[in-house]
Amino acid sequence: MTYCVAIRINEGLVFLSDSRTNAGVDQVGTFRKMSVFENPGDRMLVMMTAGNLSISQAIRQIVAEHVDADGRSIWNVSSMYEAARIVGDAVRAVHQREAKALADSGIDFNVSIILGGQIGTERCRLFQVYSAGNFIESHDENTYFQIGEAKYGKPILDRVINPATRLDEAAKCALISMDSTLRSNISVGLPLDLLVYETDKLAVTRFVTIDEKNQYFRMIRDTWGEQLKRVFEGMDDPVWNAAPDITTNVLSSNNMHSKPVRVAIPGHISRGSQDVAPLQSLAQQAGDERQY
């Protein structure tokens, strides 16, 4: 499995991917999930993939080389929307060629793709492409996309990221999101690829491959959990069955009448503490009899 996240903000784009690929606990490999299509001064596009590795690699090869009947390719289309269509067409082409053979072997056609970047004077754009070749675009209401093991790293993104977030803050948030995922899921692993793109540069702005020795990522791994624990411990405990005049940290008050849904005890089950003593006596008697 894998985890990839891409963030689109006013200042640019952030892309982060892991490199863990596994087909079981004893078949773990390292394959990079991020590919860059860059013609400096003209376009800079990033594609990240999750799912079946052979499908992902076939799609990447088609996207990089294919020219359609109208002469369109990833290298000459005039908009990111057209680039997303090319990726979607590549997904459909691989599906048409491979899906039946995979199904005959009991393997699902499974791929998810994030495509983002900038072409010419068009604004930065970000797309998520599904296994059917259809896609959606990121807007200000949803400034990021995740593929793969998305659930562990989602809360920090929801709390921090918005269109006005600074580029370095977005990169930091993406790394914390990845760290949360690494801690909770062994199918995601180092090294990581982090690419930061600044609007209108039309070339990769900053890129780094992060392994277990990377100083900044080690700092995040060492301190993020400690900071969370410190914040947690600084929060007051809840107040139960509070008097009506108490207004701070009240979880329940004595004028609340909520009750749990209790399942009725079957008739053949003994009820309540009055039956505990007889049961204990029977158990003791049985133990005494075993001693003779």
Tokens of 15: 């892309």
Instruction: Give the distance, in angstroms, between the CA of residue 234 and the centroid of all CA atoms in the same chain.
Output: 28
- Judge whether 267 lies within some domain: no
DSSP class of 101: H
What is the predicted pLDDT for the residue at 194?
98
What is the predicted pLDDT for the residue at 276?
47
Q: Given CA atoms 19, 186, 114, 174 in this order, what sign does their dihedral have?
A: negative
Least confident of 65-74, 202-211, 278-287: 278-287
- Judge whether 84 lies within some domain: yes
Question: Do you find a cis peptide bond into 191, omega within 30 degrees of 0?
Answer: yes
- Judge whether 73 lies within some domain: yes
- Judge whether 14 lies within some domain: yes
DSSP 126-162: EEEE-TTS-EEE-BTTB-EEEEES-TTTHHHHHHH--
Full domain range(s) for residue 56: 3-212
The one-letter amino acid code at 231 reads V
pLDDT digits 0-9 by tens, 153-167: 999 999 999 999 999
**Sheet architecture: strand order including 192-198:** 144-148, 3-9, 12-17, 192-198, 206-210
What gap in Å lies between CA 2 and CA 22, rounded to an integer? 9
Least confident of 10-24, 51-65, 73-87, 156-170: 10-24
DSSP 198-230: ETT--S--EEEEE-TT-HHHHHHHHHHHHHHHH
Q: Given CA atoms 7, 52, 193, 66 in this order, what sign does their dihedral have?
A: negative
Tell me the pTM: 0.87
Number of domains within the chain:
1
- Judge whether 164 lies within some domain: yes
What is the predicted pLDDT for the residue at 30?
84
**Does 279 score more than 80 pLDDT?**
no
What is the predicted pLDDT for the residue at 1?
75
What is the predicted pLDDT for the residue at 147?
98
pLDDT digits 0-9 by tens, 177-212: 999 999 999 889 999 999 999 999 999 999 999 999
- Judge whether 248 lies within some domain: no
Q: What percent of the chain has pLDDT over 70?
A: 91
Residue 26: pLDDT band with limits 50, 70, 90: low
The one-letter amino acid code at 132 reads A
Calculate the average pLDDT of the chain: 92
**Does 261 score more than 60 pLDDT?**
yes
**Does 290 score more than 90 pLDDT?**
no
Average pLDDT over residues 126-154: 97
- Judge whether 247 lies within some domain: no
Average pLDDT over residues 120-149: 97
CATH number at residue 201: 3.60.20.10
Angle at 154 between CA 185 and CA 161, to 5 degrees: 140
- Judge whether 67 lies within some domain: yes
